[in-house]
Structure 1
Amino acid sequence: MPKLFLLALGLLPWIPAVICEATSGGEHAVLEGQSLTVPCHYEPQYASHVKYWCLGKTREFCTSLARTDGPRSANPAEDKVSISDHKDQLLFSVTMNNLREADSGWYMCGVEIGGMWSADVVTHTHIKVIHGLSVVSSQVSGEEGSSVTVECLYSERYRESEKKWCRSGNSSCLLTGSEGSYEDTSVAISDDRTRTFTITLKKLQLRDSGWYWCYAGQQRIAVSLVVTPRPTTTAVSLTLTPSQSDARLHPPKSISQQSWNSHSHIMVSLLLCASLILLVGMAIMARQLWRRHGPSYPFLERDPEKARISTHCVCDLQNNAVIFHNRDSQDVA
């Protein structure tokens, strides 16, 4: 029993740190000559601990490459390996520059715990440095008439190789010359002679859509180009309905002598009609007034008896005398 207990204690540092491990990507593939940055996350309780990056799968046989408690470099971008702790983000990052094939292997992100009976918190990452060709984006798109850029990345051994740009299914290709460049009205190719050559497609047309190949030596990688139609501005025409067209008033025409002469007979006719209507109206009105308020004379009486008596009336207007035949007495004025 004591032997088993001692054996268990001796194996504690070798227990994989799966309970509270730091985390990072499992595997990375990168072209030779390029750089790689690996983020390693840790728990908040390890913010003040030392972090490290080493080559190997076990802590005892892991070759240390960088530590956060080590001397800081004046120019980390030029170092083979650099490490930086970002406590506000609870991670530390490791950058490896100018990778070579010999750099392929297993690496370890580690948080140093310290103490005989405490294992470090670690996680493993595999890095594979490959030769060949890759592309930043395997599918690019652009609007008709615009330009797009394709970036093809190659490994170190293809630095001096010929670079070319070909359309799939077409035997003709565009090649970089001795200066590592090519340009015409529609395509420009530039090789920086380190690890990238760039293809710029200018004045895109719809027929340019399709598949293309980036070549570096005998290595090639496919790129899809999609050209979208240019947006068109549609002219809007307004069609007026009859009611709308009637509302469109034209400016009045000026009155001239000719236009007045051509319409004078109409004015005369209107005046005559108005006068006739007025006269007829006045005659009707006079007749109505005469019937209602006109004087009543004996010779106009409609009663026959009254009309008979009135016919015997003799009026001497000159002597101002009136003779009444039907009275018992007569008065002479």
Structure 2
Amino acid sequence: MSLLLILPLTLCLWIPACLCRVTTDEEFAVLEGRSLAIPCHYEPQYAGYVKYWCHGRSREFCTSLARSDDPRSSNLAEDKVSIFDDPVQLVFTVTMKNLKEGDSGWYMCGMEVGGMWSADVVAFTNINIIHGMSVVNSRLSGEEGSSVTVECLYSERYRESEKKWCRSGDWSSCLLTDSEGNYQDTSVAISDDRTGTFTVTLKKLQMRDTGWYWCGVGQQQISVHVLVTPRPSTTPGPVTSPASTENLPPPEPIAKQSWNPHSHILGALLVCASLMFFVGFAIFAKKMWNLHKQDVAQRQIEGVKARLNDCSGDVDDLETATIVFLNTNSQHSQVVV
């Protein structure tokens, strides 16, 4: 029975550590010889707890490097690893300086919760120390005629090496630093501080300077894109003084308003013309119909006259014909003319 009571109690003590945890980035990559700041964020209920930073992959085997309750951990200038807690922002920051290849590995942000049954609240991150180069900003833009500066970062082993600035795809364009780590001409200036950074300044930019470049050291190189934007036009536009507008004539009405009365007149004229056309066409058609009827009647009259003329010829023949009457009783013949 006692085990049944102890198990829930143990789980309850672990719940705060699971729900209210500390968080940080999962991975960091930094050049050899440079510094790194790691933020560890926590919940408000942990503001008064001790924070620590250790090197290791598990809680049981983690080498402590800095603690918020250790006075030496607040000396950011001298210590290689230091810790600073800001309870107002709810974050403690771990700073590691002058990183070496052997510093690569897993680290842990932790908070001591204390108590026999309470586990510390922790978060793990992996730090990778690399050799080579990086750049602060890989894409830069500047106005025509202005300047832009590229910050090229390199690892410690390349501190004394020659630095280069080249246009991508054109090895003949490479500019090299001298023994003092400098280069200078009218359009490009290179300066190496010998602490892990060299800067390249492109001066008096022109539109043809747009393109890909790379900064290099030894066999390492990193690409940078430069965009040159046109200079804005400064040509002033026409300026009209207030006095010059006083004597101007009033603006004419817009074309639509001035066209309206003319459009009505034109419409009326078109209607009248259409009516006149149809009336004239009707009169013309009527006249043509009457002429056609007269022509038919005339042809009929002429036909009748022709038939009558034929008949009159027969009558004349009858008038001149000799009629002979036969008298059967007297057996004499009588001729009538």
TM-score bin, normalised by smaller chain: 0.5 to 0.7
Task: Quote the offset at 1:121 in angstroms.
Answer: 0.5
- 8 Å CA contact 2:66, 2:73 repeated in 1: no
Q: 1:160-309 residue pairs with structure 2 within 5 A? A: 160-172=160-172, 173-237=174-238
Tell whether 2:15 aligns with 1:34: no
In angstroms, what is the RMSD of aligned CA positions?
3.0
Amino acid corresponding to residue 84 of structure 2 in structure 1 = S
- Unaligned 5+ segments in structure 1 are 249-333
Equivalence for 2:145: 145
Task: Quote the offset at 1:160 in angstroms.
Answer: 1.5
Amino acid corresponding to residue 159 of structure 2 in structure 1 = R
Tell whether 2:76 aligns with 1:83: no
Equivalence for 2:113: 113
Distance (Å, rounded) in 2 between the aligned partners of 1:89 and 1:215: 40
Distance (Å, rounded) in 1 between the aligned partners of 2:106 and 2:122: 13
Task: Quote the offset at 1:199 in angstroms.
Answer: 0.3
Percentage of matched positions with identical amino acids: 70
- 8 Å CA contact 1:77, 1:97 repeated in 2: no
Task: Quote the offset at 1:60 in angstroms.
Answer: 1.6
Distance 1:75 1:116, change over 3 A: closer
Amino acid corresponding to residue 142 of structure 1 in structure 2 = G
Distance 1:133 1:35, change over 3 A: same
Secondary structure of 2:92 counterpart: strand
- 8 Å CA contact 2:32, 2:155 repeated in 1: yes
Distance 1:116 1:219, change over 3 A: same
- 8 Å CA contact 2:73, 2:83 repeated in 1: no
Distance 1:244 1:80, change over 3 A: closer
Distance (Å, rounded) in 1 between the aligned partners of 2:247 and 2:11: 101
| CA deviation vs aligned residue, 1:22-54 (integer Å, no higher than 9, x gap) | 001110000101111011111111111100000
- 8 Å CA contact 2:74, 2:83 repeated in 1: no
- Size of the aligned set, in residue pairs, is 246
Task: Quote the offset at 1:194 in angstroms.
Answer: 1.5
Distance (Å, rounded) in 2 between the aligned partners of 1:238 and 1:158: 60
| CA deviation vs aligned residue, 1:251-282 (integer Å, no higher than 9, x gap) | xxxxxxxxxxxxxxxxxxxxxxxxxxxxxxxx
Distance (Å, rounded) in 1 between the aligned partners of 2:239 and 2:8: 90
| CA deviation vs aligned residue, 1:56-77 (integer Å, no higher than 9, x gap) | 1222211000000002367413
- Unaligned 5+ segments in structure 2 are 250-337
Task: Quote the offset at 1:78 in angstroms.
Answer: 3.3
TM-score by length of 2: 0.67
Distance (Å, rounded) in 2 between the aligned partners of 1:6 and 1:245: 96
Distance (Å, rounded) in 1 between the aligned partners of 2:63 and 2:240: 83
Task: Quote the offset at 1:21 in angstroms.
Answer: 1.5
Distance (Å, rounded) in 2 between the aligned partners of 1:62 and 1:5: 32
Distance (Å, rounded) in 1 between the aligned partners of 2:167 and 2:98: 32
Task: Quote the offset at 1:135 in angstroms.
Answer: 0.2
Distance 1:70 1:160, change over 3 A: same
Amino acid corresponding to residue 62 of structure 1 in structure 2 = C
